[in-house]
């Protein structure tokens, strides 16, 4: 059994068996509950045409999710190419979009995005934007959307930086405890907004360790959680400090915003993602993190609770199989893979790939072009 100790009497236990894994979350006072075990689509999701009936049935027995950000994958039928955009649009109330590789690449907007979002809004669809990138806060992401000419409110944006702070609030993390951050400004701003004490972040980016004989590195024994996200200022000081907190502070949580292998810092190439920073801390602590970003169901549960959304009425749109598509499948949603980011058609159709979305298409503007072609 893998055990992640929480603050006071809170803990998360992940048990593994040959066919499934389950999450155990003990009650903790008045904490809010945003967690789910395997959530199956309601019977209403089976009432569409044969293609949608096929997709819904396939989801019924597909996945069991855990909060370490990994999923037991069972065999699935091949994804269908999206041919009837109207049918998918009409079958759901909410579209959740990943950002990097779906809306933009680096700081460049992907063609056709504004028209597509305007069309969906005109049909009364709720739009939500979820990103594993923790470098910005929701407010900072709002400014990026604005800079790119997109009208998106802060309430429609959910970054993994926000998810880390929301998770700590959901477990009533003590306000007299501190959070050590291996990550960037977005995490710090969300922790501050949530009223948590923190240290680390970019301020530790220039710190170095002088390894003299007998040198002992001190750390704050009042740190009750270490949050690890993407960090362009990652260094050995941060690795050692985070390691000491997790290994030596009783009950210290190890929280990861995501485990993404790569990210889009520019539109020219892929760059090492937050998973590389998380992996370093996993290696030094011999602990698995609690993941609050995709594909963990925490953000999905949070969104469903906040907006009162039936998960069977959601379509998750993303460019990554192991985060975006699993995120949707873990929550019992419809899933659409776009080939404008990380995943190519060859990767999707590879015999080695066991993650199959309900549908795939080239980019989200196909919602508009496929509609036009059908007229």
Query: What are the φ/ψ torsions at residue 316 (nearest 5 degrees)?
Result: -90, 125
Going by their DSSP bridges, the two strands 197-200 and 223-228 should be labelled as unpaired
Q: How far apart are CA 177 and CA 174, in angstroms?
A: 5
Q: Which among 83, 93, 115, 154 is annotated as catalytic?
A: 93
Cβ contact 294:324 at 8 Å:
yes
Other Cβ atoms within 10 Å of 126 Cβ, number: 17
Distances (CA, A) of 141 to 183, 277, 318: 16, 22, 18
DSSP element (H, E) containing 263: strand 262-263
Other Cβ atoms within 10 Å of 294 Cβ, number: 33
Cβ contact 242:224 at 8 Å:
no
For 159, residues 6+ apart whose C-beta sits below 8 A from its C-beta are 130, 131, 132, 133, 134, 136, 137, 138, 141, 186, 190
DSSP element (H, E) containing 374: helix 366-374
What burial class does residue 154 get, using C-beta atoms within 10 Å of its C-beta: 0-12 exposed, 13-18 middle, 19+ buried?
Answer: middle
Cβ contact 333:300 at 8 Å:
yes
Cβ contact 117:366 at 8 Å:
no
Q: Which residues pair with 157 in a beta bridge?
A: 129
Return the structure tokens found at 242. Answer: 């985070």
In the annotation, is 288 catalytic?
no
DSSP element (H, E) containing 317: strand 314-318
> Any idea which residues carry the catalytic annotation?
93
């Amino acid at each position: 059994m893998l055990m992640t100790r929480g603050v006071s009497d809170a803990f998360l236990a992940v048990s593994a068996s040959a066919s499934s894994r389950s999450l155990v979350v003990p009650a903790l006072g008045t904490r809010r509950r945003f967690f789910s075990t395997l959530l199956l689509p309601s019977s209403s999701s089976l009432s569409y045409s044969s293609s949608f009936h096929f997709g819904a049935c396939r989801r019924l027995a597909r996945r069991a999710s855990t909060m370490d950000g990994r999923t037991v994958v069972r065999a699935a039928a091949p994804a269908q190419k999206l041919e009837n955009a109207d049918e998918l649009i009409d079958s759901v109330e909410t579209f959740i979009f990943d950002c990097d590789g779906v809306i933009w690449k680096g700081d460049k907007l992907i063609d056709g995005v504004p028209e597509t979002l305007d069309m969906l809004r005109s049909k009364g669809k709720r739009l939500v934007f979820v990103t594993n990138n923790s470098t910005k806060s929701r407010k900072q992401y709002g400014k990026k959307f604005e800079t790119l000419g997109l009208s998106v409110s802060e309430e429609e944006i959910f970054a993994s930086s926000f998810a880390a702070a929301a998770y700590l609030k959901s477990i009533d993390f003590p306000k007299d405890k501190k959070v050590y951050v291996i990550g960037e400004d977005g995490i710090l701003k969300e922790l501050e907004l949530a009223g948590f004490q923190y240290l680390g972040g970019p301020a530790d980016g220039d710190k170095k360790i002088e390894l003299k004989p007998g040198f002992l590195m001190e750390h704050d024994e009042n740190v009750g959680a270490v949050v690890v996200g993407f960090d362009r200022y990652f260094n050995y000081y941060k690795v050692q400090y985070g390691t000491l907190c997790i290994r030596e502070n009783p009950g210290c949580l190890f929280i990861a915003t995501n485990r993404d292998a790569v990210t889009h810092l520019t539109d020219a190439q892929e760059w090492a993602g937050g998973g590389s920073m998380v992996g370093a801390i996993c290696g030094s602590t011999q602990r698995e993190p609690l993941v609050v970003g995709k594909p963990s169901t925490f953000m999905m549960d949070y969104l469903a609770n906040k907006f009162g959304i039936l998960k069977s009425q959601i379509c998750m749109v993303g460019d990554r199989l192991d985060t975006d598509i699993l995120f949707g499948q873990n929550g019992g949603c419809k899933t659409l893979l776009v080939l404008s980011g990380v995943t190519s058609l060859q990767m999707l159709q590879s015999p080695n790939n066991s993650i199959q979305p309900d549908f795939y298409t080239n980019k989200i503007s196909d919602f508009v072009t496929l509609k036009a072609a059908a007229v």
